[in-house]
Chain A
Amino acid sequence: MIDAKALAPGFDDYVVSSQRVFRLALAGLSRPCLAWELNGVRLAPQTPLPPLAAALALTLLDSATPVWLSASWRQAADWLRFHRGCPVREQADEAAFVLAASPAELPPLSALNQGSERYPDSSATVVLGSVMPLDGQRAWLAKGPGIDGSIIFRGHGLDDDFLEQWRLNRASYPLGTDVLLAGDKHLAGLPRSVSLEEWPGGDRACM
């Protein structure tokens, strides 16, 4: 028996909405560590994933992209299979897309597919929920492609452990994973090319 929730609708208009969501992801990865708002997308209200994560999944997944879901999002497996026909994997390192509901549910980045020396593009892409791109207490200094000089990044929900993992991820460039941080309505991108360090200026001050 298939649960009715698995048949919940996705986009009202796949062509237009998926294009907008792709441009959001493209903006996120080409201008990292900024918050990009999801707009003009007609998504059904009762998706089993939060709206931004659902929109990204509908836009990017299909039968060519094995996906891994963290515990809180596992109930979306049938819905994703129904809409996108993507294989759902038990092992995170077999997935092209790793969908995690929160940083606490994210496997270590180093345990995900890192790509190969000749094909570093074959690495995993992470969609990480519950991270509000600009609201964090902690301030990190971000540098890299897409950033004009440097920028202060406050990823709410990301802790020192993530920062340490990110240092390792950055150190193995061009191998490594790319992360799309999906808040309620805002997306921020963290491509593997960007470096993050603690910013001594700390708390609430801005540059």
Chain B
Amino acid sequence: MTTEETGYNFAYLDEDSKRMIRRAILKAVALPGYQVPFAGREMPMPYGWGTGGIQVTASVIGPDDVLKVIDQGSDDTTNAVSIRSFFAKTAGVATTSRTAEASIIQTRHRIPERPLKSGQIMVYQVPIPEPLRWLEPSEAETRTLHALKEYGLMYVKLYEDISRHGTIASSYDYPVEVFGRHIMSPSPIPRFDNPKLDRSPALHLFGAGREKRIYAIPPYTPARSLDFEDYPFAPQSWSQVCALCGAADSYLDEVVMDDGGQRMFVCSDSDYCASRLEKGGRTQ
């Protein structure tokens, strides 16, 4: 157990900042998929390490919450471990690696395989919140495009993918249309996870620290992955199953085993894999 640090406010962030972020979160929930600007604070870690997600979690979390943090699906990676111990130290909250037991799940790159429940809150660390940014560098211009619901540019990009690669090539950060209105970046989750956003019973909150934006998908809100009638959206799939637990329905990471090119595929969601093994799944 990590011991709680003293000398900080609960969950590190000061109350004025929390209040400002809380107001932004409430507006984000009322405007699904719309990016609310907020006065992002410096956090005791560099941009790119999840400062947006941490500010959202710090503003939402209370003493009764149970926090899970994952990075690339795993509870054991550096970023996940350090953020989890950050909140264990500064808020004294309970932490878990089990998806079912968590009330707040902060994540980078993945949505857990285990279906989320009503009442759970997902917090995403977002590097580039603007789905149109690579197509239009000006913030004033992209704001106008969102205001006018002028998303032709995005469809041209997807069309160019098809003309060049024969398929929509984006494998992560695949744009979604939320509540039939705003096009939104789901953060760098693989497109395998996109269907989990659609009408999810959980609340999804997205925080971009460097870009200073907060946005949300409330529960039971349609989030449609963009596609064309003749090129429908399809998540990734594998011909292998997980080499550890035998799961055929999870997102697999490819792990290189030796210099001879040996490789294996394993679940990226460490909790999902471990719980399947506990229940007597396959081992090697």
Size band of the interface chain B makes with A: 35 or more
Question: Contact mask B191-234 → A, CB, 8 Å, 1/0?
Answer: 00000000101010000000000001111110000000000000
Q: Is the interface of B mostly helix, strand, loop or mixed?
A: mixed
- The smallest C-beta distance from B223 to any residue of chain A, in angstroms, reads 10
> A29 near B179 (CB under 8 angstroms)?
no
B123 interfacial by beta-carbon distance below 8 Å? no
| Interfacial chain B residues near A174, Cβ < 8 Å | 31, 34, 181-182
B63 interfacial by beta-carbon distance below 8 Å? yes
B2 interfacial by beta-carbon distance below 8 Å? no
A82 interfacial by beta-carbon distance below 8 Å? no
B117 interfacial by beta-carbon distance below 8 Å? no
Assuming the contacts A30-B29, A173-B181, asked whether A118 and B16 have C-beta atoms less than 8 A apart, the reply is no
> B34 near A26 (CB under 8 angstroms)?
no
Among the listed A15, A60, A148, A191, which residue makes an inter-chain contact with B219, where contact means beta carbons less than 8 Å apart?
Answer: A148
> A121 near B36 (CB under 8 angstroms)?
yes
B70 interfacial by beta-carbon distance below 8 Å? no
- The smallest C-beta distance from B168 to any residue of chain A, in angstroms, reads 26
Size band of the interface chain A makes with B: 35 or more
> B62 near A23 (CB under 8 angstroms)?
yes
> B30 near A23 (CB under 8 angstroms)?
no
| Interfacial chain B residues near A130, Cβ < 8 Å | none
- The smallest C-beta distance from A67 to any residue of chain B, in angstroms, reads 13
Assuming the contacts A18-B19, A23-B62, A193-B31, asked whether A29 and B26 have C-beta atoms less than 8 A apart, the reply is yes
> B179 near A193 (CB under 8 angstroms)?
yes
Closest to B214 in A: A121
Closest to A15 in B: B10
CA distance A192 to B32 in the complex (A): 10
Among the listed A16, A25, A26, which residue makes an inter-chain contact with B63, where contact means beta carbons less than 8 Å apart?
Answer: A16
Q: Tell me the residues in window 110-149 of chain A with beta carbons closer than 8 Å to chain B beta carbons.
A: 117-121, 123, 125, 144-149
Question: Closest 9 A-B residue pairs measured CB to CB?
Answer: A191-B30, A121-B27, A145-B221, A117-B147, A146-B218, A145-B218, A19-B62, A178-B30, A30-B218
Residues of B within 8 A of A (CB): 9-10, 15-16, 18-20, 22-32, 34, 36-37, 59-63, 118, 143-144, 146-148, 179, 181-182, 199, 201, 203, 216-221
The contact sample of 26 A-B pairs, CB cut-off 8 A, is A14-B15, A16-B10, A16-B62, A18-B18, A22-B22, A26-B29, A30-B219, A62-B16, A62-B19, A64-B20, A117-B147, A117-B148, A118-B143, A121-B31, A121-B34, A121-B36, A125-B23, A125-B27, A145-B219, A145-B220, A147-B220, A148-B199, A149-B220, A174-B181, A193-B179, A193-B218
